[in-house]
Structure 1
Amino acid sequence: MLLRNLIIFIFLATSAFVVHAQSTSKALQKADAQYDALAYAKAIELYETALKKPKGLTDEETLKAKIQLALAYRQVKDFVNAERVFREVLSGNPVLKGEDVKTYRHFAQVLTSNGKYTEANQYWQKFNELQEQDKRGEEFIKLNSNRGALERNSGSYRIEYIGINSSSADFSPIYYKKGLVFVSGRTGNATIKRVFNWDASSFLDLFYLEDLKILANESNASAIGTSTSSTTRTTPASKKLGDDYYTQPTSNDSKTVGRKGSDYVAGSKDLDYEEEPSIPTQKFSKTLNSKYHEGPCTFFHDGSKIVFTRNSQNVSGGIFGQKKNTGITRLKLYMAFYEDNEWKKVKELPFNSNDFSCGHPTITIDDKILYFVSDMPGGYGGTDVWMTRYNNGEWSKPENLGASVNTRGNEMFPFVDERGNLYFSSDGHPGLGDLDIFFMPMNTATGMPSGKVRNLGAPLNSNKDDFGLITDSDRRTGFLSSNRKRGGNDDDIYKFTRLGTVYGCREVVVNIFDAESKKPFDRIRFEYETKGEANSKESAITNNAGTINLCLEADNDFNFIVKQNGYQQIVVGFSNKDASDYEASKLDIYLKREAVLVDNTKKKEVAYANAPNEILLSKGNKNNVSTIFRGVVTAGRDSTPIAGVLIRFINQCTNQVQEMTTGADGSYEFKRDLNCDYLLEAIKENFGRSFELVEKIAEKRSITNIFKKKTTKANVGSLFDTKLYKVGDVVQLDNIYYDSESYKIRGESVRELEKLVQTMQKNPNMIIEIRSHTDTRGNAQDNLSLSQLRANEVVNFLAKKGIAKARMKGVGMGEKEPVNGCGDGVQCTEAEHQRNRRTEFKILSIERK
């Protein structure tokens, strides 16, 4: 985990440092001293020991010690123990003041990394209420409420674990000649092991893979979760998923309290695995690698110069309000020249200082602009991305990239591609985990931001730390660093390949209204297309409230075309280039009524047809008003339109029958008498029949189910409204929730189950199987038993609503039918696991009577 933790070295200390009063306890004084020196592994052990025997400590001292302990665990990426201690701190509802208010923010960030997004939002809200300056919690709350938005494009990228990784931290690759230079904590054959106090991990050096072609031919490279190399020793098969080599323990598998102390946070020595690289690499340079940390670097594009990170040799500088004699070293940028087949003339960049840190360099393709990270004065928060120009051998005064990139949190690990676009990692912009990777288009002339910052989303980001990305200008392939595999201090390098679109889609809520009455249309059809793309036109139909949620390909311009009888055609432009990735845009479309001529003799008077929401008027005179009734038939399984459905529209006054067969879009339309009821019948071979009563306008302006009393209000927008089902259909029930390790249905699930009740009432001859699934974490037999209890609970719910138990069968499926690749031993996001935790029903038979 570092220079990332070095690097993050001085950097993250900004957000972690809490000024505390001098403790009266000698044990706490020692712990505080280690904490102030950034020796978090030692501080954790001392705090834990002191808090086991708190006799003599005041309440204030105990509170401060626990806050420091929780922050120390967070700094070494032990989020399980960080959560445990933060809970102890906040369980008593303490009155937090000053810097201690940040405890709510830190806890929210830890909960997010542990996948507890709803609870995280509660503490973000508490943090927002207690202070005015830092408002980033508002954006985190929005993202945590719609995290699927950053995970919907996960199929567009393939992530591969590569064979240069070791049991130590490996991260921040950079292209050099035909290969890669990267940072690693592997000790090699060093006779003296150098240890960094932050987390007791080894010091870092630069290593070199000479030829990338080795990776292309690598038989050991694998997608996340598949086997890696033969030198990797995994845990026995009898171990529970979550305790194994691949998957971090979760609340499904064990108590949230984990191991404590420096023996745990130190690294891999007690994590029950050893891993040797399957592909040989070598130390990059004897000249550049020293007894200090060497970290992320960048090369001038002819390979003649390098700019790299090293912790300084001067230990006199203090940090963030600490005394100058604390012995904290700084990160500095150094430059070297390649001459006579070796690196020479190592020198500091002129803007380095003993009062702040500089590191993580990346340079543009023309070698003119260097971006780097610093906590120098004039920034926005912890660490910021800065730029400096290189001209005739001289470096300009650094400039901050501004608030569109930098936040009150920490921005670090920048990379600039061939087009000058910037990638960087941040914990201040809303993301899926602790550090997420972001993209910012840049103005190549000024070197400054010129667009909207974008989270790269899953799978390039995870709920762990993701950083150190390098790629081409189209993001077709590249490498990134992450501790997603085992968490903690075990950073690894991954190769990625783009298989689909750069981004996924962005949501827009389309609302269509009558311009005069401002009332929404009911189930109105419209078309939309991508501007400039032939054959991109698609159609959609709003719901009963005139609304539809679309997810359109990101960074595009669109036209929306609405044609409706009795209204003027309208074309509305829309762009999602600057739209949020996780907050839906809104597009309101207002239709103006078409003029109807009522007197064709001397003077033309214009009147507007007064149409109910569900009636579409055609042109006509005052003595001849015709109406059209329209609808669409969709499959109950997946809501796709069904072609070839025979639709019969039977006038209940005259018994006159109109018939038509649906086309590819599943739509139909008929003329109707507004003063008569109609029976609407949908028939297709191998499907159950659907019957609905369309009531006359004088009585009601909506469609009601014939199996309900006429006085009952129609279930507008029901999931199963106008659906057709066939034997063998498997239909997933959305939003069915259970508490962890419980089979009891939660209150918010009742509405979805009520829809299933209505479907069973509408189809009295239908016999179904209720199937409950779990994700693949935890013990398989326990999951099977739990899923059976959950399926039985749904059956009992429907039975209480009057559905005969003879028409239902509850089956627990356990973890044996995941809908994605998240099987045993596969590292997946929480959203991917959520997809597997589902309840569905299968049509076993539909009796014909």
Structure 2
Amino acid sequence: MIFVNRSLLFISRSSYSVKMLLKRFIIFIYLATANFVLFAQNPSKVFQKANTQFETLGYAKAIELYESALKKTKGATDDEIVKAKINLALSYKLVKDYANAERAFRDVLSANPILKGDDIKAYRHFAQVLSSNGKYPEANIYWQKFNELQEQDKRGVEFIKLNSNREALERNAGSYKIEYVGINSSSADFSPVYYKKGLVFVSGRSANSAIRRVFNWDASSFLDLFYLDDLKALGTDNGGASAIGSSSQSAAKTPSTSKKLGNDYYTPPTANDTKTVGRKGNEYITGSKDLDYEENPTIPTEKFSKSINSKYHEGPCAFFHDGSKIVFTRNSQSGGGGIFGKKNNAAINRLKLYIAEYEDNDWRKIKEIPFNSNDYSCGHPTLTIDDKIMYFVSDMPGGYGGTDIWMTRYNNGQWTKPQNLGGTVNTRGNEMFPFIDERGNLYFSSDGHPGLGDLDIFFIPMNTATAMPSGKVRNIGAPLNSNKDDFGIITDSERQTGFISSNRKRGGTDDDIYKFTRLGTLYGCRELVVNIYDNETKKPFDRIRFEYEIKGNTSSRESAITSNLGTIKLCLEADNDFNFLVKQNGYQPETVNFSNKEASDYESSKLDIYLKKEIIVVDKNKKNKVVETQKEADVLVSRRNGNAVSTIFRGIVTAGKDSTPIAGVLIKFTNQCTGVTQEMTTGADGSYEFKRELNCDYILESFKENFGKSTELVAKVEEKRSIINIFRKKTPVINTGSLFDTKLYKVGDVVKLDNIYYDSESYKIRKDAARELEKLVLTMQKNPNMIIEIRSHTDTRGNALDNLSLSQRRANEVVDFLAQKGVAKNRMRGVGKGESEPVNGCGDGMQCTEAEHQRNRRTEFKILSIERK
């Protein structure tokens, strides 16, 4: 499945071509960030033609030229040869030929070259290729090398964890039956969507056209929308579908193929049986031009609409639920300004979203969605059941990395400004192909979240009121995901049946549509390690028996016995609450609650249970022994307290039954945008208090001995001007036009420093800012016992994690400036706030002037302590 067929080229933050967005919506991320395109100055002539093809995104031709050029390296420097090999490997990766990409990456990296700068990303690319080829232990080696050589991109940490426990995403594979459907062809077929009684889908088939349009990226065909008018044609009874991995496979009808691949026609080629060197032209690419391979649909389809399909790419679409309108992806019809300028004459267009209305038996009034741009791409639409919210994919400014998922509302025929779904969904990688089910649950594909290989399908519940994420991203696992590309899902709210797109059969360009049916549980299981100890000695019990059940379902009760070390690993049904019941002679019985609703899919959770000995007292009047037992432990309940939109998050932890505040509870409050965790232990009143960034989700966790771990998602507050005004009242920002007076202000006040602004992407203090900081020096000298926190902010453009790092450097720069003026460093603390607290409505994706962005690039100080004499 070559990268381009399913994405109509996606232009990331600079510019691009056009075919990739429909299939993959990615690529310039790799180019704009990897910087693999240019050699050293005055490169050898033998590489010049290959360079030109690579730079202008002609990867199919570049592969041919690099393969040929690397056989004739006379006169080329060692650096030029290394660059050429990296470019060759990356070209194979971008056209989705992972067998040859592995060979090429291995060739260059096995020599242990000294890589610097963006070339270090070759380790990450190779790790991704190895994962897609099923070589997970080796992939971890290269993820680790990548992690060690750079600090910003931490995706490798999570991928290493998953690669060490792949079985976690494969446990529930038996719950689904996957069927290959008869509408597939030798070309790419993907991204189905329900329409009337049938399916509309994207395909690169020529439909008997006399003119075959070829895309330069991978020499594949242009894309159009096709239509199957009746889903009944896909029923297994009439041979329209054949099962994969099920007992019905032997009786199923095999699609028409003249070349059998491996033992069955679903086995993709490997590095051991791939044609590589010696093939000519585009035949270097595995599976892209196997002239002896042909597959014809067994079920007839037709082109969807002459007015929608054009000489350009048409891609993933969405229909209003009454069938009156369609929103679809098309590459723009006018040049978007090439990324390579006039020198290379590269007119590279963007992807755009269009809307059309159905009138008089045809689609008419085709027009662009207003937030399209010649500076970035938009595509892959999906609509909520009420047609009021559209999710789509874009690389517009304000995102997190490659391509992100955004949201817009449709009110009275008008589209609102797009809003980024934030760091819970979007990563430094690429998120695309969103689908929203009738309950508002969001599915999407990503290569930035840990998965089985390249694109995997993920799921997250959404808040239907805010249209923003309200839970944790989950990989839906095998068999819906594989080590190849899996994307373009449509399904019902219970995931009982639906369709996916995947290139699992042959890899490369061979995207196909598959039907799935759920036969078992919706979720698999999640691992839990249970440890049982003596409360006094803290020693584990030797082989102790206990029982557990799904909360509220006594019929689900099961028993288990720990090892001689007092531990056992269970795999509990996902997304449930449980009760654990432990009884041991001489000890008080314990009932402990546990929830795995927010637990990791591939890391084991932990539950420690401590048993207390029975207390035996003698009743002097009755002269007999009485066993006193402690009251049964109750579930921890976190009750929120305070303003819902305040930047201070407060609450009280109580016992669930009698609402008694509980002391000694460890509370963790983790920012899902930055990963930073705040911790505190409750006092006698059971209260806790944390600082909060309103535009980030948080995970609130409570821990206490003899209680199960309590976990809660604290959803971010949708950014609005009214909200900003509210929390301004709660946290006053004080202007320091005159010298600071401690009699007027108190501990906790946030004081705004006038004119402490920064140039975009810079942390150096400007001259106008230095003059203002002199006032703060005088304030600190006048109040020698005052301790402050320097807080620096960025605007909301660019990557959120990069902005957080930039703001920290800005805060450190102010601290250093004040220290040079004689202020003791132990009286100051520098804190970078990143883009989390804009002073205006310039959030992610919002169109603002440069002056408005500059207002957000500011410095404040917060008074932490004042000791008055």
TM-score, shorter chain, exceeding 0.5: yes
Q: Which residue is equivalent to 1:162?
A: 181
Identity of aligned residues (%): 73
Q: Which residue is equivalent to 2:107?
A: 88
Q: Which amino acid aligns with 1:544?
A: N
How far 1:606 moved relative to its partner? 10
2:274 and 2:286 in contact (8 A); partners too: no
Matched, 1:381 2:401: yes
Q: Which amino acid aligns with 1:76?
A: V
Q: Which amino acid aligns with 2:475?
A: N
RMSD of aligned Cα (Å): 2.4
Q: Which residue is equivalent to 2:142?
A: 123
Q: Which residue is equivalent to 2:582?
A: 562
How far 1:326 moved relative to its partner? 2.8
Give the secondary-structure state (helix, strand or coil) at the position aligned to 1:479.
strand
How far 1:510 moved relative to its partner? 0.5
1:199 and 1:266 in contact (8 A); partners too: no
1:316 and 1:325 in contact (8 A); partners too: no
Give the secondary-structure state (helix, strand or coil) at the position aligned to 1:120.
helix
Q: Which amino acid aligns with 1:140?
A: F
Matched, 1:596 2:598: no
1:330 and 1:356 in contact (8 A); partners too: yes
Q: Which residue is equivalent to 2:220?
A: 201
The structure 1 residue matched to 2:238, chosen from 203, 218, 226, is 218
Q: Which amino acid aligns with 1:270?
A: D
Cα deviation 1:292-317 (Å, max 9, x = unaligned): 11000000111111010011122242
1:184 and 1:205 in contact (8 A); partners too: yes
How far 1:59 moved relative to its partner? 1.0
Q: Please list, as runs of the form range in 1=range in 2, the aligned pairs for 1:269-288 lying within 5 A after superposition.
A: 269-270=289-290, 272-288=292-308
After TM superposition, the score normalised by the length of structure 1 is 0.68
Q: Please list, as runs of the form range in 1=range in 2, the aligned pairs for 1:573-584 lying within 5 A after superposition.
A: 573-584=593-604
Q: Which residue is equivalent to 1:736?
A: none
Most deviating of 365-374 and 265-274: 265-274
2:380 and 2:434 in contact (8 A); partners too: yes
Q: Which amino acid aligns with 2:201?
A: F
1:163 and 1:229 in contact (8 A); partners too: no
Give the secondary-structure state (helix, strand or coil) at the position aligned to 2:482.
coil
Matched, 1:371 2:391: yes
How far 1:27 moved relative to its partner? 3.7
The structure 1 residue matched to 2:378, chosen from 358, 361, 366, is 358
Q: Which residue is equivalent to 1:748?
A: none
Q: Which residue is equivalent to 1:552?
A: 572
Q: Please list, as runs of the form range in 1=range in 2, the aligned pairs for 1:169-180 lying within 5 A after superposition.
A: 169-180=188-199
1:201 and 1:266 in contact (8 A); partners too: no
| Alignment coverage as a number of residue pairs | 604
How far 1:508 moved relative to its partner? 0.5
Counterpart Cα distance in 2 of 1:353 and 1:150: 39
Q: Which amino acid aligns with 1:118?
A: P
After TM superposition, the score normalised by the length of structure 2 is 0.67
Cα deviation 1:455-487 (Å, max 9, x = unaligned): 000000000000000001111100000000111
How far 1:596 moved relative to its partner? 3.0
Give the secondary-structure state (helix, strand or coil) at the position aligned to 2:69.
helix
Q: 1:453 to 1:270 in 2, by over 3 A?
A: same
Counterpart Cα distance in 2 of 1:256 and 1:109: 22
2:276 and 2:284 in contact (8 A); partners too: no
Q: Which amino acid aligns with 1:554?
A: A
Q: Which amino acid aligns with 1:13?
A: I
Q: 1:26 to 1:320 in 2, by over 3 A?
A: closer
The structure 1 residue matched to 2:558, chosen from 513, 538, 541, is 538
Q: Which residue is equivalent to 2:163?
A: 144
Q: Which residue is equivalent to 2:8?
A: 6
How far 1:231 moved relative to its partner? 5.5
How far 1:258 moved relative to its partner? 7.3
2:456 and 2:481 in contact (8 A); partners too: yes
Q: 1:422 to 1:23 in 2, by over 3 A?
A: farther
Q: Which amino acid aligns with 1:233?
A: T
Q: 1:496 to 1:16 in 2, by over 3 A?
A: same
Give the secondary-structure state (helix, strand or coil) at the position aligned to 1:360.
strand
How far 1:320 moved relative to its partner? 9.8
How far 1:607 moved relative to its partner? 11
Counterpart Cα distance in 1 of 2:341 and 2:461: 35
How far 1:496 moved relative to its partner? 0.3
Counterpart Cα distance in 1 of 2:518 and 2:340: 42
Counterpart Cα distance in 2 of 1:77 and 1:492: 15
2:120 and 2:149 in contact (8 A); partners too: yes
Counterpart Cα distance in 2 of 1:458 and 1:356: 34
Q: Which residue is equivalent to 2:29?
A: 15
Cα deviation 1:801-842 (Å, max 9, x = unaligned): xxxxxxxxxxxxxxxxxxxxxxxxxxxxxxxxxxxxxxxxxx
How far 1:65 moved relative to its partner? 1.0
Counterpart Cα distance in 1 of 2:554 and 2:622: 47
How far 1:323 moved relative to its partner? 8.4
Counterpart Cα distance in 1 of 2:303 and 2:565: 65
Matched, 1:396 2:420: no
Which structure 2 residue ranges, 5 or more long, are not aligned? Answer: 11-19, 630-869
Counterpart Cα distance in 1 of 2:590 and 2:340: 60
Matched, 1:521 2:545: no
Matched, 1:233 2:257: yes
How far 1:248 moved relative to its partner? 2.2
Q: Which residue is equivalent to 2:532?
A: 512
Counterpart Cα distance in 1 of 2:581 and 2:320: 51
Matched, 1:305 2:325: yes
How far 1:23 moved relative to its partner? 5.0
Counterpart Cα distance in 1 of 2:567 and 2:491: 40
Q: Which amino acid aligns with 1:197?
A: N
Counterpart Cα distance in 1 of 2:63 and 2:620: 91
How far 1:421 moved relative to its partner? 0.7
Q: Which residue is equivalent to 1:756?
A: none
Q: 1:606 to 1:131 in 2, by over 3 A?
A: farther
Counterpart Cα distance in 1 of 2:497 and 2:566: 42
1:3 and 1:294 in contact (8 A); partners too: no
Cα deviation 1:255-302 (Å, max 9, x = unaligned): 897776621427554263211100010000000100011000000111
Q: Which residue is equivalent to 2:58?
A: 39
Counterpart Cα distance in 2 of 1:523 and 1:120: 38
1:154 and 1:458 in contact (8 A); partners too: yes
How far 1:88 moved relative to its partner? 1.4
Q: Which residue is equivalent to 1:460?
A: 480
Q: 1:427 to 1:297 in 2, by over 3 A?
A: same
1:23 and 1:29 in contact (8 A); partners too: no
Q: Please list, as runs of the form range in 1=range in 2, the aligned pairs for 1:368-767 lying within 5 A after superposition.
A: 368-597=388-617
The structure 2 residue matched to 1:339, chosen from 356, 359, 370, is 359
